[in-house]
Amino acid sequence: METIIILVFVLGYLAITVEHSIKIDKLIPALVMMAISWALISLGIDSFTQWFDSANHGLVDGFASLGHESKMHIMEETLLHHLGKTAEILVFLLGAMTIVEIIDYFDGFSTIKSFIKTNSKRKILWIFAILAFVLSAIIDNLTATIVLISILQKIVKDRDVRIWYAGLIIIAANAGGAWSPIGDVTTTMLWIGKKVTTGHLFAYLFVPSLLCMLVPTFIASFMPAFKGTLEKVEVDTDKPKSKFSSTMLYLGLGGIISVPIFKTVTHLPPYVGMMLALGVVAIFAEIYSNSKFALSGIDSDEHKEHSSHSPVHHSLSKIELPSILFFLGILMAVAALESLGILFGFAGTLQDTMPMLGTELHGEGVSDLVVLLLGVGSAVIDNVPLVAASLGMFSEPIDNELWHFIAYSAGTGGSMLIIGSAAGVVAMGMEKIDFFWYIKKISWLALVGFLVGAVAFMFTRTLL
């Protein structure tokens, strides 16, 4: 039965990685393999000789000798445990996405566009790279990429030039997301899973992540694509701008930034703080929305549409629900493998057979090479299931350097292929970037940044 479950997972995983070829959204195989895996576990529960207790990070003693009812009870408890942990991540992401959509509702991100005054291609590259690095740490790398490419489309007319900027934005956004607990889904998973804390994450990863962004951007700034100046783009004065745009931008970003502080002070799960931040932002959004349309004398269709419902409802309707369902499917599918002790056994085999590279990580002797390969793997396949698997494979304590290296590798390694990260996938969709163009032009820059950051991590961990 275990072999069948592994086969279901492999086939589902394969369907996820080739979604662009088979034209089936990755959420579908994720949900199917999750449901089938748990169904097979339930039907074959009596045939399993071991069970991994995720709450205690160890195998259940004497599981093979337990009766059918006892095994079913343990399975139901485990399923509920994993659903609860997954729901924490999903509710957190829903809150963050809604706040970002509320900011966008008030044209808050247009404030960022107004800061860009230069026409130099090289200067604009550095502005967008730094913005991507900082914004992704605050509003996550996926959202930061969407926001910056949207702004880029208003500034750079020539698509052939624009896709070069988009490639560097992907690298910078993924680097920025790695050192923040809310910057990347995988880092959020490690943070919510009590593997890393905000302070240590910053201390371990800020410098490696910064170098991962700076080195490729510095190299690219000397390339022909970023020489010269851009054509002036006419500012669209027909579209009315909300007078509350700047206020909502700072309020929304401030609300998201306050979540780690709320967790530190109250010791409550991060999703509670995110819901509080969403509630506060929503209050001001409702108040400002009423003022906005009461004072506006414009009868455009867009304004009539907006004024007929609340900004919160409008923002919720724009959330990327397929991504939420994908995370549900993949995390619960990985949980099925973890519960059978498959990942636990695989981790032991991996650590015994993999040659050590450089300094061993503390704990159970996990080699740097294992974590670097995980980073490379995150470029080929989705980094969410890789990090989810690592949560079940390794049992190191909170803030062990292993978890921080995993956060860096999984977060930044995905930049090496355009399908390797959520930021890359969304940029690919927005700009219709060719897969092989990215490999030829951008992948080597991402690899250089990834390796420089990894070396920097190996040095900075010796200081902490």
Tens of pLDDT, residue by residue over 116-135, are: 778 888 999 999 999 999 98
Distance from C-alpha of 339 to C-alpha of 382, rounded to nearest angstrom = 21
In terms of pLDDT, which residue wins out, 355 or 2? 2
For the chain, the 3-state helix, strand and coil shares in percent, each to the nearest 5, are: 75, 0, 25
**Nearest partner of 161 among 227, 103, 256, judged by Cα:** 227
Helix (H) or strand (E) holding 82: helix 68-105
Distance from C-alpha of 274 to C-alpha of 198, rounded to nearest angstrom = 15
Q: Is 229 left (phi over 0), alpha (psi -120 to 50) or beta?
A: beta
Q: How confident is the model at residue 355 (pLDDT cuts 50, 70, 90)?
A: low
Residue 120: the pLDDT is 87
pTM (whole model) above 0.75: no
- Average pLDDT over the chain, rounded to an integer: 82
Residue 12: the pLDDT is 87
Q: Look at residue 238 and tell me whether its pLDDT is greater than 90.
A: no
Residue 164: the pLDDT is 94
All structural domains of the chain with their residue ranges = 1-464
Residue 434: the pLDDT is 80
